[in-house]
Amino acid sequence: MAYFTQQLINGLTLGSIYGLIAIGYTLVYGIIGMINFAHGEIFMIGAFISIIAFLVLGILGVTWIPLALLIVLIATMILTPVYGWALERVAYRPLRGSPRLAALITAIGMSIFLQNYVQLVQGARIKPMQPVISGGFEIMREGSFTVALSYLQILIFVVTVVLMVVFTLVIARTELGRAQRACEQDLGMAALLGIDVDRTISLTFVMGAALASVAGLIFLINYGVIDFYIGFLAGIKAFTAAVLGGIGSLPGAMLGGLLIGLIESFWSAYFTVEYKDVAAYSVLVLVLIFRPTGLLGKPDIEKV
């Protein structure tokens, strides 16, 4: 039971990262019906901005951890969305009326471009960082095995829940959220009603990038090592999570992320770790066979 509980905690921690990235996929798809395959690289850029911010604060002598984390969080949530906005403005807006295949090819091209951009600017070597938050609680003990809940994991859970609540309220109760929901239903009609469609879509990319930047910071302080390739792997897993939960649904994206994290954690703990990805994708295939819209997704109803 103790081992199971520890893997449950680890899986929820990993799933929180996947869920934050997956929300970016589902936001963009919900409005313009496009899969932003470069979103994983936005997450990777957020991680690199975070480690650069930590280095700068270290040079400046800012050593109080809560203040340093707050400054890094604000910096990455301001700078990373700039890349998300530029991505939409340069790569996606000119192709909005084009066939979806053109947008898909562009997304893959931007993903490769951003990978190589970071590799050229930051180098191909991995970037390690010393642990920022240490310590935690002992939940239970079973023989020689101890179940621990670290302060870092508590922080990850709190940040994830707060961001989910905030972004859900933004979409449900603000003018921007109403504009996003209108664009999701019909871009043309939304424009006729006076909604600035270009601005709404750009802000949606910015919101997704902000969440991805937080996921990048969490990934950095949780694992302590990053490289230019982490965005591709995490992006594929987050996209899988978005589809599993029901792409277009914010709660579905978070639920899918948590499920993928739990599947990977438990499979690695009880079976062969090399096949944890196979297990995650197999569950996705089964869900799509029996529920094509995902766990919380709703079928599209075309009115004529």
Could you give the percent of the chain with pLDDT greater than 70?
98
pLDDT tens for residues 171-191?
888 999 899 889 888 888 899
Residue-level pLDDT at 292: 85
Which pLDDT tens digit goes with each residue over 265-298?
A: 999 888 888 888 888 888 888 888 888 888 887 7
Q: Which residues contact 139 (CB under 8 A, 6 or more apart)?
A: 5, 147, 148, 149
> What are the C-alpha distances in Å from 239 to residues 47, 141, 164, 182, 284?
18, 36, 18, 24, 11
Threshold 0.95, pTM exceeds: no
pLDDT tens-digit profile of 30-89? Answer: 777 778 889 999 999 999 999 999 999 999 998 899 999 999 999 999 999 999 999 999
Ranges of H-type helices in the chain? 2-32, 39-60, 65-87, 100-122, 151-173, 175-185, 187-192, 197-223, 230-245, 250-270, 276-290
Average pLDDT of the residues in 114-118:
94
In the prediction, which pLDDT does 114 show? 94
Residue 274's SS3 state is helix
Hunting for tokens 């670290």 — which residue is that?
150
Q: Strand pairing of 136-142 and 145-150? A: antiparallel
User: And the tokens for 242?
Assistant: 């978005």
Structure token digits, residue 210: 């902000």
Interval 226-241: pLDDT, tens: 999 999 888 888 988 9
